[in-house]
Structure 1
């Protein structure tokens, strides 16, 4: 049965990638937190794995041995960009947008066309493949380029809005926007750039089967990155964009005084040490609502929530260093609520004007502390 097939390095590399993508897609589909987003990403990984499949089996000689595989509906290219946007939307909103399924209609039409062609009698199928391949490639390539531009722009706008709203509601913004969302969008953007280059090149001067291998290696690499990082962030409690909208507050209160009062309470009770601290959680602990607390921080502390908490954490670390705490800097930072070394270094430098290690060296010398005091 395997006579006439050849399993070379191309088939081996793509097989390993597809197997890993299937495992990651299954794991994501079964993860309950962020269920809508994770299932969308699982579908995207499955689609990208299927996109690679014709090259995986083609290099092994499947299409030469079993020509009836022509038109097998593996490559549904018009679903990739919409699924990428739907994943970003589901992650930032908790669900797909209303009637989000409509964005998949072009892909459904493409799949129905391929399935209908695949079901044709063999001779009719091969004749139609000879006549229609050029036109089909032109239409789908142009549609794909349009989708890349449209959904890419929409995704970038959503990410920008999300990143702008986060600092007023969460303490460690980099956990949600700075790392994964931006990374996912960048990976898809890079894939689309490579894909567009290959598509345009192939339209102008057909590259042939072997010369398209680079595109499918890039596709497999991008899919693996999305799958691995998506799995790492699968259970992260992403705040919903709709919940980040500022609440209306009255003008009759002394927001500056309230801000100072609540800042003092946070400092005294060490509430900033909570690594999962959000505006809503802090508001509950202070016995107020998010609208009041946000306005008090903005006017009383003159900053957003993330900067406010970061400054309190940095001050707490500085106080421990001044008292002679000999623990490792990162250990102290984590104990005071910072989520990473990078966020700690940035916040400390912004609040104290120098790097944590330089500050420790300076305050650890009694003679220098004496000079500073005088």
Structure 2
């Protein structure tokens, strides 16, 4: 039965990718955390895995041996972009948007078209395959490029809003998977840019079956990255947009004075050391509301919540260096609430004007010791 089939490196690579993607999709479906988002990610991985199938079996010679496989409705390219957008919406909003199914109408239409063509009598199907190949390619390319333009712009704006509000709400944004979500959208965006390039190139100068292998390797690699990293971040909290908008502070206040007063209290209590510190938690500890605290930080200190807390933490590390603490810098950073060496170095330079190691060398001489405060 396998006579005439060829299982070369292309088929092997795509088969391994397909199997791994389906395993990751299954694992994501079983997750109870961020359930709506993980179901969408599982659907996205499944769609991307199935996109590989025609090339996987084509390189092995399936279409030459069983020509009736033509038009098999597995390559639903118009589902990729809206599913990526829905994943972003589900993570940042906690649920799928109203009417989310309408965004999958082009994918459903593509599935119905391929299914109808697949069901045609063999001779009619093969005649239609020859007649429709160029037109289908043009329509599919135009639809995919339109999706990239529309959903790409909206996703970029939504992600920027979410990251901005997150920085006003939590101290360690990376503990709330902000970096992962940005990386996921960037990876998908880079894939779509490569995909667009291949589509346009193929329209101008047909690349042939093997010439598109680079595109399918890019699809497989991106899908595996999304699946593996999505699984690694499956339980991380994703604050929702509606919860990140602080209550308005309508009463006129001396916000700069309030900012200094509350900064002093936070220093005295050591609250900035809490790696899970949020705007709401700090407001409760200070006996105020998030609107007042947010305005005191934004207008009084002239920065967002994350940078404000990072500055206090950098200040605390500097104070320990001033006192001659001999612990290594990373230990000091972690003890004062930083989540990583990179975030510590950025915050320390921004607050103290020099790197932590240089600061330590300088303050080793008593006459050079100095303090910095908000």
Kindly indicate whether residue 160 of structure 2 is the aligned counterpart of residue 156 of structure 1. Answer: no
Corresponding residue SS for 1:209: helix
Query: Per-residue displacement from partner, 1:264-286 (whole Å, max 9, x unpaired)?
Result: 22111111111111111222233
Distance in 2 (alpha carbons) for counterparts of 1:18 and 1:284:
49
Kindly indicate whether residue 197 of structure 2 is the aligned counterpart of residue 197 of structure 1. Answer: yes
Query: Per-residue displacement from partner, 1:95-130 (whole Å, max 9, x unpaired)?
Result: 111111100001001101111221222222222222
Corresponding residue SS for 1:136: helix
Distance in 2 (alpha carbons) for counterparts of 1:255 and 1:366:
36
Distance in 1 (alpha carbons) for counterparts of 2:106 and 2:302:
49
Distance in 2 (alpha carbons) for counterparts of 1:258 and 1:97:
39
Equivalent residue number for residue 357 of structure 1: 357
Q: C-alpha displacement at 1:176, in angstroms?
A: 5.0
Equivalent residue number for residue 109 of structure 1: 109
Query: Per-residue displacement from partner, 1:176-214 (whole Å, max 9, x unpaired)?
Result: 576222212221121111111111122222211111111
Equivalent residue number for residue 30 of structure 2: 30
Number of matched pairs = 370
Equivalent residue number for residue 129 of structure 1: 129
Equivalent residue number for residue 72 of structure 1: 72
Query: Per-residue displacement from partner, 1:195-239 (whole Å, max 9, x unpaired)?
Result: 111111222222111111111011111111111222222222111
2:247–2:291 Cα contact (<8 Å) kept: yes
Equivalent residue number for residue 331 of structure 1: 331
Distance in 2 (alpha carbons) for counterparts of 1:176 and 1:145:
32
Q: Greater shift after overlay, 84-93 or 158-167?
A: 158-167
Distance in 2 (alpha carbons) for counterparts of 1:201 and 1:350:
46
Structure 1: runs of 5 or more not aligned: none
Equivalent residue number for residue 96 of structure 1: 96
Length-normalised TM-score, structure 2:
0.94
Equivalent residue number for residue 278 of structure 1: 278
1:162–1:177 Cα contact (<8 Å) kept: no
2:45–2:223 Cα contact (<8 Å) kept: yes
Q: C-alpha displacement at 1:334, in angstroms?
A: 0.8
Distance in 1 (alpha carbons) for counterparts of 2:247 and 2:28:
34
Q: C-alpha displacement at 1:175, in angstroms?
A: 4.9
Corresponding residue SS for 2:68: helix
Corresponding residue SS for 1:339: coil
Q: Greater shift after overlay, 247-256 or 157-166?
A: 247-256
Q: C-alpha displacement at 1:71, in angstroms?
A: 0.9
Distance in 1 (alpha carbons) for counterparts of 2:345 and 2:369:
22
Distance in 1 (alpha carbons) for counterparts of 2:176 and 2:65:
49
Kindly indicate whether residue 79 of structure 2 is the aligned counterpart of residue 83 of structure 1. Answer: no
Q: C-alpha displacement at 1:258, in angstroms?
A: 3.3
2:22–2:46 Cα contact (<8 Å) kept: yes
Equivalent residue number for residue 309 of structure 1: 309
1:163–1:177 Cα contact (<8 Å) kept: no
Equivalent residue number for residue 264 of structure 2: 264
Kindly indicate whether residue 56 of structure 2 is the aligned counterpart of residue 56 of structure 1. Answer: yes
Query: Per-residue displacement from partner, 1:56-95 (whole Å, max 9, x unpaired)?
Result: 1111111111112111111101111111111111111111
Corresponding residue SS for 2:5: coil
Q: C-alpha displacement at 1:252, in angstroms?
A: 4.1
Equivalent residue number for residue 296 of structure 2: 296
